[in-house]
Amino acid sequence: MTSTVTLKLRHFSRYSLGLVLLLFMINLSPSVSLAGDDGPEQVIQQISERLLAVLVEERDALKSDPARLYQLADEILVPHIDFAKVSSLVLGKHWSRATPNQQEAFQHAFQRLLVRTYSTAFTELQEWEIRFLPTRASDGGDDTAVRTQLLLPQVNPIEVLYHMHLKEGNWLAYDVKIDGISLVTNYRTSFNRELRTVGMDGLIRKITVLNEKRVQKQDVKNS
């Protein structure tokens, strides 16, 4: 089964697109076969219904009001992503070495970075197709990889794999792989370079400053 949505692809790398799909899985009717009433497909469908309603009602307002866009992401999407797990995977060994305060600060800054970096794609929808492939849960049934293909005009099919796990009764996403390349691994490589030079506190400061600059840039754009 396929679903068609749209996007101005020239503005996004494959990693960006993968995260957009992870954060904004809209207008999808997945054929994922997993047991249980609360499987990943139900999560995606619920997100889809809410986001589609918002897109129809607030599309013009969202383009001119990024703050509203970020608010919607926090309300609708963030609860379905395990940012604590994403953060721990991105930092690797550095996560366990960080203090609880550093872990909390990094998770907050990194979450803002992801949402603010990619949520603007929410208003740039145009055209693509997503094909859902057969998916199997782990032996314990609490971890799965949702297999899809991203079909674009004049581009070979792109394999997109969404990793989700069951946490406290909810299916949460924690990674996406584009043609076998993990988004988590991609960020880990980048952050490891920073950690070697500026340390954990320095990395958190850099991400925080970057977030603030993006807010200021958007404010200037909309003024």
The residue range of the domain holding 99 is 2-218
CB count, 10 Å around CB of 137?
20
What pLDDT score was predicted for residue 78?
76
- Determine, yes or no, domain membership for 57: yes
DSSP-derived 3-state class of residue 8: coil
Q: Is 42 or 92 the better-scoring residue by pLDDT?
A: 92
**Cα(57)–Cα(50) distance, integer angstroms:** 11
Q: What is the pLDDT of residues 154-179, one digit of tens each?
A: 778 888 788 888 888 887 889 988 88
**Cα(3)–Cα(82) distance, integer angstroms:** 25
Q: Reply yes or no on whether the pLDDT at 30 is more than 60.
A: no
**Structure confidence at residue 34 as a pLDDT band (50, 70, 90):** very low
**Structure confidence at residue 199 as a pLDDT band (50, 70, 90):** very high
Task: Give Cα separations from 88 to 44, 73, 94, 169, 172 (angstroms).
Answer: 24, 21, 8, 21, 15
Average pLDDT, the chain: 74
- Determine, yes or no, domain membership for 213: yes
> Structurally, how many domains does the chain consist of?
1
How many Cα atoms are found within 13 Å in the side-chain-facing hemisphere of 142? 6
Which secondary-structure segment (H or E) carries 164?
strand 155-167
Mean per-residue pLDDT, 147-151: 76
Q: Reply yes or no on whether the pLDDT at 103 is more than 60.
A: yes
Which secondary-structure segment (H or E) carries 177?
strand 170-178
- Determine, yes or no, domain membership for 8: yes
Q: What is the pLDDT of residues 48-102, one digit of tens each?
A: 566 667 766 777 777 777 777 777 777 766 777 899 999 999 999 999 999 999 9
What pLDDT score was predicted for residue 190?
92
| CB within 8 Å of 143: residues ≥ 6 apart | 137, 163, 164, 165, 166
Q: Is 48 or 1 the better-scoring residue by pLDDT?
A: 48
In terms of Cα–Cα distance, which of 206, 11, 103 is closest to 214? 206
Mean per-residue pLDDT, 197-222: 86
CA 154 to the chain's CA centroid: 25
The torsion angles phi and psi of 25, rounded to 5 degrees, stand at: -80, 85
DSSP designation for 140 = T
Is residue 2 within 8 A of residue 129, CB to CB? The reply is yes
Tell me the sheet residues that pair with 3.
Answer: 130
**Cα(103)–Cα(84) distance, integer angstroms:** 9
Is residue 24 within 8 A of residue 121, CB to CB? The reply is yes
**Structure confidence at residue 105 as a pLDDT band (50, 70, 90):** very high
Regarding pTM above 0.85, the answer is no
- Determine, yes or no, domain membership for 35: yes
State the sign of the Cα–Cα–Cα–Cα dihedral 10, 175, 148, 59. Answer: negative
Is residue 127 within 8 A of residue 4, CB to CB? The reply is yes
- Determine, yes or no, domain membership for 223: no
Q: Say which CATH number the domain at 186 has.
A: 3.10.450.710
What pLDDT score was predicted for residue 207?
96
Counting every residue, how long is the chain? 223
What pLDDT score was predicted for residue 23?
54
- Determine, yes or no, domain membership for 154: yes
